[in-house]
Amino acid sequence: MIYDIFKEINNVPRPSWHEEKIADWLCNFAETHHLDYDRDAKNCIVIRKPATTGCENAEPIVLHAHMDMVCVAEKGKTFNPQTDPIEAYIEDGWMKARGTSLGADNGLGLAMALEVMRSNDLVHGPLELFITTNEEDGMTGAAAVSPDFVKARKMIDLDSEDYDTITVGAAGAYLQTAELPLTHEETKPGYDFFVLSIEGGLGGHSGVDIGKGRNNAVKTMGRVLSAIKEACPDLQLCTINAGEANASIAANAEAVIGVPKENSEIIEAMTGTLLPVNPNDPNMKLACTYAERPANAISDNATDALLECLEALPFGVLKMSEHMAGTVETSSNVGVLKTEKDHFFISAHSRSFVYDDMVALGESICQIFKKYGAKTNFIMSTPAWEENAESDYVHLVEQTFIDVLGFKPRKVQMHFVMEMGYFVEKFPGIEIVPIGPRIIEPHSTSERVELSTVDNIWKVLVELLKRLAQA
């Protein structure tokens, strides 16, 4: 069953950039079920299954999913994404995870595809299952895949999160990181030290949820510190860490600061008023507690450069589409901020349906980083993708939804990034239709999937494979 496979997948650590274990597991799956497979240098895998009897001459079909997941955990939970399994549970018809992201994105799509590959009672033509790596944090697997890795030219992608839709387009993405230099100095005597904690934010997917008006804990902590520094110019910043993943809206942040003892009451009073009420993110809170005196603090110059840089970095919706009502066209997110030994690490993830706008935005963010002395690292510039929404293939999928589930799916373009922009370049002539169950709050500890929609998408997938084999 699908859920048995999903449980096995969630027992194998699979954060982006560290997919070796899950790739090994997938190869073992293929061998166990006597299926031919290949594995490339980026750990992308293709598993092949012959057609069922009588369908050998049908057009081959490629199923697609990615093997990595965004691993985030609730603050205070001990969780190592490279070693620890995901603990899922079911509540009121939804599957959730205990204290971490669930990995339904894209583990359930992968589980469905694997169930197809091991089943003996389905009707289908020749099949390929194409499984990519690092989809969530750079798409390096899709970018590097060989053009002859996949032969089929009709793809069923199982990485959609909107159950009642057929995705016919996705935004492009520009991901970069920066290393902003810092130096240390001794903490000053006569100071009190505090831990400032921002907790309880909704976070979420930095594409799917970017238009929902949520707070970003990286940006919010920057503004909190700037306000405190304006009131207490002698503030010492010791550490600051915020955000959970490059592709997530930051839900939590923590900073350790010091101020002269005569300013301590001001800090305690200010922290009660520094976090503005946001009805779109009502549970985000700012707490202030006393801390032991650290040995070192960050220099004033480095602190000022960081706070000015954070304020300058764009976050949120930058432009709505004039052609797709209610759809975000261009956005940007600051995903992660970490205090390292000699620099601050910062990630910036921009998205747009318009490639030139996306590149221009990415380059403008690069210039912001450089203005404050940061070294930038370019990770990816993924092209947007648009399918012919009126093709015979899309209409076939649409009709299958109608016949199996009794409703006509919406055809939508989504403000998340998909690997299809690479696939249409790598595999000329390929047609792609993404479908999937209803996944809410991916890339967050609130991630959950509605189980009835998993069962229904499975029914659509099985019938669609049958119709394609008999076309």
Instruction: Over range 152-158, report the average pLDDT.
Output: 98
Domain residue ranges of the chain, discontinuous segments joined by +: 2-159+419-470, 175-382
Q: Which two tokens stand for residue 50?
A: 């012959």
First to last CA, the chain: 28
CB-side neighbour CA atoms (13 Å) of 72? 31
pLDDT confidence tier of residue 75, bands split at 50, 70 and 90: confident
**pLDDT, tens only, 435-446:** 999 999 998 999
Instruction: Over range 49-72, report the average pLDDT.
Output: 97
Question: How many CB atoms neighbour CB 405 within 10 A?
Answer: 17
Query: For the domain with range 175-382, which CATH number is right: 3.40.50.300, 3.30.70.360, 2.60.40.1190, 3.20.20.140?
Result: 3.30.70.360
Which amino acid is it at 277? V
Instruction: Over range 233-255, report the average pLDDT.
Output: 95
Instruction: Over range 29-47, report the average pLDDT.
Output: 98
DSSP-derived secondary structure for 136-193: GGT-HHHHH--TTS---SEEEE-----TTEEEEEEEEEEEEEEEEE--EEEPPTTEEE
d(CA 286, CA 299): 24
pLDDT confidence tier of residue 324, bands split at 50, 70 and 90: confident
d(CA 308, CA 108): 42
Query: Cβ distance 136 to 16 under 8 Å?
Result: yes
Which amino acid is it at 185? E
Least confident of 162-166, 215-219, 262-266: 262-266
**pLDDT, tens only, 298-310:** 999 999 999 999 9
pLDDT confidence tier of residue 224, bands split at 50, 70 and 90: very high
Which residue in 359, 379, 362 sits closest to 370, CA to CA? Answer: 362
Could you tell me where the DSSP H helices lie in 245-328? 264-270, 300-312
Q: Which two tokens stand for residue 138?
A: 């750079």
The whole-angstrom distance between residue 282's C-alpha and the CA centroid of its chain comes to: 23
Beta bridge partners of 288: 196
**pLDDT, tens only, 169-211:** 999 999 999 999 999 999 999 999 999 999 999 999 999 899 9
The pLDDT value given to residue 323: 81
Q: Is residue 272 scored above 90 in pLDDT?
A: no
CB contact set of 367 (below 8 Å; sequence gap of 6+): none
Q: Backbone phi, then psi, for 460, in 5-degree steps? A: -65, -45
Query: Cβ distance 286 to 224 under 8 Å?
Result: yes
Catalytic residue, from 135, 192, 209, 387: name it. Answer: 135
Instruction: Over range 243-260, report the average pLDDT.
Output: 95
Q: Which two tokens stand for residue 170?
A: 């996705």
Which amino acid is it at 148? D
DSSP-derived secondary structure for 429-447: T-EEEE----EESTTSTT-
Beta bridge partners of 412: 167
The pLDDT value given to residue 270: 83
Cis upstream peptide for 241 (omega within 30°)? no
CATH level 3 topology of 2-159+419-470? Aminopeptidase (3.40.630)
Place of tokens 């859920």: 3
**pLDDT, tens only, 405-431:** 999 999 999 898 899 999 999 999 999
Same fold, 2-159+419-470 and 175-382: no
d(CA 468, CA 471): 5
pLDDT confidence tier of residue 326, bands split at 50, 70 and 90: confident
Catalytic residue, from 19, 68, 159, 281: name it. Answer: 68
Report the chain's mean pLDDT, rounded to a whole number: 95
Which residue in 78, 71, 73 sits closest to 15, CA to CA? Answer: 71
Query: Cβ distance 335 to 348 under 8 Å?
Result: yes
135 as an active site residue: the answer is yes
Q: Backbone phi, then psi, for 136, in 5-degree steps? A: -80, -15
Q: Is residue 148 scored above 80 in pLDDT?
A: yes
254 as an active site residue: the answer is no
Q: Is residue 109 scored above 90 in pLDDT?
A: yes
Helices then strands, counting H and E runs in the chain, come out as 11, 23
